[in-house]
């Protein structure tokens, strides 16, 4: 763990006094390769329409600057649901902006391909209304929001639980 020495200037003496050790907070964001390795280890796969992971290219699926809590949330959801989980979007450009957006590391899109998520989410999570565009929303016990969109679930992870 990184240690950061804090210093306090003592003006009257013109000298510097060591006041102790402060813990550096752990990084909030994961690097693409680190998140990808965690997903792979948990049996979670991902795909992109352009077969790439470039953070700055629309159509790629990137995990650059994804929140570590989002990674943990996807993994927890996979374990809980026992569904096949395929991520189809991460933090790459091309999504709606906002404080809790894909780009800021809070959201991923999960494929609806095999129907397991479509069965699990509505039967285990509470209906939470609809978005302005009519998309149905479901809220997990942990407070995360699952939005049923056309070909995928748009998931907002507030914390590292399912």
pTM given for the model = 0.81
The terminus-to-terminus CA distance of the chain in angstroms comes to 27
With beta carbons less than 8 A apart as the criterion, state whether 87 and 65 touch.
no
Say how far apart CA 63 and CA 105 lie, in whole Å. 8
- Strands 45-46 and 86-89: what pairing? parallel
| Ramachandran area for residue 113 (φ above 0: left; ψ -120 to 50: alpha; else beta) | alpha
Between CA 62 and CA 127 the distance in angstroms is 29
Q: How do residues 62-104 score in pLDDT, each as one tens digit?
A: 999 999 999 999 999 999 999 999 999 999 999 999 999 999 9
């Amino acid at each position: 763990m990184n240690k950061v020495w804090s210093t306090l200037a003592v003006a009257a003496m013109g000298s510097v006094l060591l006041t102790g050790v402060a813990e550096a907070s752990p990084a909030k964001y994961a690097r693409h390769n680190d998140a990808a390795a965690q997903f792979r280890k948990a049996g979670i796969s991902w795909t992109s329409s352009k077969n790439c992971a470039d953070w700055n290219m629309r159509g790629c699926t990137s995990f650059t600057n994804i929140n570590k809590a989002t990674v943990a949330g996807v993994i927890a959801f996979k374990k809980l649901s026992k569904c096949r989980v395929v991520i189809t979007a991460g933090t790459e450009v091309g999504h709606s902006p906002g404080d809790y957006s894909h780009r800021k590391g809070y959201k991923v899109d999960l494929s609806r391909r095999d129907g397991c998520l479509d069965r699990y989410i509505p039967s285990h999570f509470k209906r939470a209304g609809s978005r302005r565009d009519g998309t149905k929303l479901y809220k997990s016990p942990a407070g995360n929001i699952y939005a049923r969109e056309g070909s995928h679930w748009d998931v907002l992870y507030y914390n590292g639980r399912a």
